[in-house]
Structure 1
Amino acid sequence: MTVNANHDAKTAFGASSLKAVFAGEHAWCGEKMMLSSDIEGAVPISDFFGSGGFSAALDTYAASRGGTDRRAVASMWSLYYFSLLTIPYIVARRAHHALPVAARSMTIALAEDGLPRALGLADEGDWSDSEEGDLLSFVMPLVSQNLAEIVAHLKTQGGIAPKLAWNNAAVYIDYAFNATERKRPADGDAWASRSLFSAPHLPDGSANPFLGCLRHEIDGEETVCRRKICCLRYLLPGIPSCGNLCALPAQRKQ
């Protein structure tokens, strides 16, 4: 999939809306990440986690699914949040556009079942004509301005370990970066996002929370990507397995 970042796209964006950043198979991102003013029922993320909104959302989702394991419910909720945050962010960043993803300035809207429906931004962010950076550089704003804070809430209010939460976020970053890769790395490695899971530190010198979260393994005649830590979805009634991606061998064929 190719993300265009040409002059026409830039002009269109300036004249229209945030949706101009997204194209092709990821056009859906424009319906999931938009200006807060365009989202009905959106509330500040800080208020959502600080006023009991998150706990209530977990209760709503648990009731809709018949789930009794609080960790599994919180983990599944986080999968939706991380997908709405990281995929649009990476897709836009690959199109030379930096979205403002500081949690303190963003809003969230929920679906009827309590899961995240859309995330709102304070403004449309900035275009950049600079050359593409590497994935480690791309994730720095995500980690420092949003993910670290949300992972902490998931631990204190949802009861899931930070390592599990980071692994949940890693899956979507991996997907988005690989799906928008336009050229094969110089070393011929087909896994464009490998560096995110092998580097011990992020560019600012802090420990890399994604280290080891995903790995590629040979399974028969194919190479498969696998998580380090299971997302616990198997504890929720009616939720299908994530197949070969699952960290638990017994769950891969369910």
Structure 2
Amino acid sequence: MVSADTRNEALQALRPQGLRALFHGDNAWCADSMMLSCEMTDSMPLSEFLYGPLLTKTLHQCAAAYPDADLRTVSSFWSLYYFSLLVIPYICARQSGVALPVELENMTIAINDQGLPRSFGLPHEGQACDAPDVMTVISHVAKSHLNTVVRVLKDRTGISSKLAWNNAAVYIDYAVNSAAENHCRDGWPCRPLFETQIFDDGTRNPFFGCLRQETDHGANLCRRKICCLRYKLPGVAGCGELCALPELRKQ
């Protein structure tokens, strides 16, 4: 049996160096959102950002563009950027056989001029890995990273945990669907994640029920359980048929 270290050495020899080589096609943009910390000049430790005063300062900076919105709504919008920049590259890399080191305490973050997450920094390029099932892939990032972010946002802004998990779920579903390449028998490769109450280790699955498939005028559609509140932000486009609120789906 080939060891994980041997597989990792082989992987490093075969592919171009750098995280950029992992991301291509529609997800080539991930190369600018998931980088090595040593390549970033304006990042800071993620733990320091989340637990210190800069998170609140950043959220208020983002809120300045929406003076009539409450901090909870802005926080939900901000989290959409955070979760998309984290989970989409993570899942794309796993599909390519690389487990990125997304443990929160080892990462850095950079924020753009609007107060939104711009990119994450990693301590190294990751390790070669097999392609396990979606539950295994997502349970790792949930426990090593997302749990903390959801809790901190709730404590600092009042955004509900269920709303935050829904926001992450949308991008997980997108990334898994994109990586599946239509190899799923029933057309929804993320179904186990949203229809299973516990992970394999017996811990609660916070994504249970976040998304559901519905039939609307003969079409199968995937929809959120809880609205992300973006409709309260002027100039921000809606999420169409994905929206949890029927009256907003056509806007």
Q: Shorter chain as normaliser: what TM range?
A: over 0.9
Shift of 1:8: 9.2
Aligned length: 244
* 2:199 matched residue in structure 1: 202
* 1:89 matched residue in structure 2: 90
User: Residues 87-135 of structure 1, C-alpha deviation per residue, up to 9 Å, x if partnerless?
Assistant: 000000011100000111111100100000001101111012x3x2110
**C-alpha contact (below 8 Å) 1:106/1:121 kept by paired residues:** yes
* 1:48 matched residue in structure 2: 49
- Separation (CA, whole Å) in 1 of partners of 2:12 and 2:25: 16
1:234 lines up with 2:235 in the alignment: no
Structure 2 counterparts to residues 93-242 of structure 1, below 5 A? 93-128=94-129, 130=130, 132-185=131-184, 188-242=185-239
* 1:3 matched residue in structure 2: none
Shift of 1:27: 1.5
Query: What secondary structure sits across from 2:205 in the alignment?
Result: coil
Q: What is the TM-score with the length of structure 2 in the denominator? A: 0.93
Shift of 1:68: 2.3
Letter in structure 1 aligned against 2:166: N
Shift of 1:221: 2.5
- Separation (CA, whole Å) in 2 of partners of 1:117 and 1:29: 11
RMSD: 1.7
- Separation (CA, whole Å) in 1 of partners of 2:28 and 2:11: 13
Q: What 5-or-longer segments of structure 1 have no aligned partner?
A: 1-6
User: Residues 162-192 of structure 1, C-alpha deviation per residue, up to 9 Å, x if partnerless?
Assistant: 000000000000000010113533xx30111
Letter in structure 1 aligned against 2:53: G
Q: What 5-or-longer segments of structure 2 have no aligned partner?
A: 1-8
Shift of 1:25: 1.8
1:244 lines up with 2:241 in the alignment: yes
Letter in structure 2 aligned against 1:144: K
Query: What secondary structure sits across from 1:156 in the alignment?
Result: helix
Query: What secondary structure sits across from 2:83 in the alignment?
Result: helix
**C-alpha contact (below 8 Å) 1:69/1:236 kept by paired residues:** no
**C-alpha contact (below 8 Å) 1:67/1:73 kept by paired residues:** no
- Separation (CA, whole Å) in 1 of partners of 2:10 and 2:82: 31
* 1:66 matched residue in structure 2: 67
**C-alpha contact (below 8 Å) 1:18/1:124 kept by paired residues:** yes
The alignment-based identity, stated in percent, is 47
- Separation (CA, whole Å) in 1 of partners of 2:51 and 2:14: 38
**C-alpha contact (below 8 Å) 2:11/2:128 kept by paired residues:** no
